[in-house]
Amino acid sequence: MDFHPGGGEELMRGAGKDATKLFDSVHAWVNYEQLLSKCLVGPLRTTVTIDFSSNRNKSIKNNSSNNKLSKTTLAGPEIDKNSDNISASSTNSTPNNSENRREIVPRFDWIQKTADIVLTFYTRALSNPGMIVECLNDPKIYHIRVCIEDVTHLFKVTFCADVRWPCTVKLSSEAGKIELLFVKIEPSLWTTFGNMEREKITELDSKTFEYDVESREDITHDSQAVLLKSKEKVLMITPIGYHINITATLNGTNISRSYTPIPANFTSLNCTPNHIPLLVKSCGALSQYICRALPQPSQMKISRPMGTFQLTSVKNHRKFALLAAGSGLTPMLSLMDYLLKRNYNKIEVIQLLLFNKTEGDAWCRTKLDSIVEKEDRLIVRHILSSPSDSWTGETGLVSEQQLITLTDVKNPNHVTFIAICGPVPFNNLCSQYLREINFQPDNIHFFQG
């Protein structure tokens, strides 16, 4: 159940009947004969043991039973129902009842057509994985990093023949499934995909990747949408709500800062999977460097994605409030995008509260307005602290009364989960008010970085 993209509800549609047509309607592209052939262990045999010992023979003679054969059942390892992994060498492992703390070890599979090959990595439903694909100097050799929380699973893949760069990535955060499609340079059916080594990196992965600014556009008077592109053959997919650390050398000094990538549809720039899209406010040395026109910023070091947000924390909630001050909007965009598309336990409402100084400081206003027109479950509220005389919307700072109204069960749109991101004083104030109104801490997430 954990690994099926549609979940238990979708599987039950085929329960107790021939589900071939249902399977074909959803997975018409799957060569299931090839998949099932990999699962073949061999024909089932009944193993019998004959005891020829003299004592046993005597007892058999004196036994009224006519059975002279003793059947032995071949049993597999004991299965820990609380574990994702079954291993004959670890049958005495202690079950861990915490779903969120069970170790996630990606499972690997592959399938091919004449023209392409697909590598699939199964993590677990709602594991919110990230992915970094790196093509080395040889077109057959790839390093694939599956990032799950603070652990990196490194797969060193050597294909049996050359494939084209870039690959196509399909990542489902909800199902925890990652598919990488590689086009074969010479179409043919391979007898094997090649070979693979895997490594688990539990300490902070110090590997960085070099990126340049490729293009940008102004989005407000002091902010830009920026596209970063790797100088090498690297493709990075960031988990929902995670950030990356960018380091650049300015006047001989290394300066670092965290930025949260945004969904590609929140910028009008020509964003491909090879790009990392950012929204950057040109304040601070590194942000000013990224936003400068000429010379084009280059040779910036990008870390693997980092963060603490877990999709399991929101799986049982259907009414959300997202509180963002200034650039704190960025992690909310990927979370909002995911929640609106979520298939399991579909949401009822998202209230997005955006706190800015002036109307001109609001990011993505046109895009958000267009989503609201199509999506009645999204409510966007702009709250300004220094509005113009012509402003007719909400004004002021975040207040306890706002949070009381949001969480009041008498309110039809009362929320049960709140995500918050902004400057430290904003976060501290929200935390204080939520404590005072006794809102459950487990239903709050502060984005950091």
For 163-188, the DSSP string reads B-SSPEEEEETTTTEEEEEEEBSS--
Contact 119, 179 (CB under 8 A): yes
**pLDDT of 261 above 80:** yes
Instruction: Write out the residue limits of the CATH 2.60.40.790 domain(s) in the chain.
Output: 107-202
For CATH 2.40.30.10, the residue range(s) in the chain are 208-306
- Is 336 in contact with 350 (CB distance < 8 Å)? yes
Domain with CATH 3.40.50.80 in the chain: 311-446
Cα gap 448→433, rounded to integer Å: 19
What pLDDT digit, counting tens, does each position of 107-165 carry? Answer: 999 999 999 999 999 999 999 999 999 999 899 999 999 999 999 999 999 999 999 99
CB 355 within 8 A of CB 323: yes
**Over the stretch 13-51, which tens digit does the pLDDT of each residue have?**
778 888 877 776 665 545 555 556 556 656 665 555 555
83 vs 34 pLDDT, higher one: 34
Comparing 88-102, 176-190, 416-430, which segment has the lowest mean pLDDT? 88-102
Measured distance CA(311)–CA(181) in Å, rounded: 26
- If you search the block for the tokens 């336990």, which residue do you land on? 345
Kindly report the pTM of this predicted structure. Answer: 0.77
CATH architecture classification, 208-306: Beta Barrel (2.40)
User: DSSP readout, 216-238?
Assistant: EEEEETTEEEEEEEESSSEEEEP
Q: In the chain, what is the greatest distance between 2 CA atoms, to the nearest angstrom?
A: 107
CATH of 311-446, one of 3.40.50.80, 3.40.50.720, 2.60.120.380, 3.30.465.10: 3.40.50.80
pLDDT score of 65: 45
At 361 the pLDDT is 95
Q: For residue 11, what pLDDT is reported?
A: 76
Q: Is 279 annotated as a binding residue?
A: yes
Torsion angle, CA of 240/6/348/448, rounded to 10 degrees?
A: -10
Q: Is 281 annotated as a binding residue?
A: yes
CATH for 107-202?
2.60.40.790
CA distance 61 to 48: 20
- 107 annotated among ligand-binding-site residues: no
pLDDT confidence of residue 13: 76
Residue range 297-303: mean pLDDT, rounded? 93
Q: Which residue has the higher pLDDT, 39 or 54?
A: 39
Q: Which residues pair with 48 in a beta bridge?
A: 71
Per-residue pLDDT at 110 = 97
Q: Which pLDDT value is given to residue 192? A: 95
Mean pLDDT, the chain, as a whole number?
Answer: 85
Q: Tell me if 229 is assigned to a ligand binding site.
A: no
Quote the CA–CA distance of 338 and 446 in Å, as a whole number: 17
Distance (Å, rounded) from C-alpha 283 to C-alpha 320?
Answer: 31
Whether 97 has a pLDDT exceeding 80, the answer reads no
Q: Is the pLDDT of residue 318 over 70?
A: yes
Model pLDDT for residues 380-415, shown as the tens digit of each residue: 999 999 999 999 999 999 999 999 999 999 999 899
Higher pLDDT, 415 or 77: 415
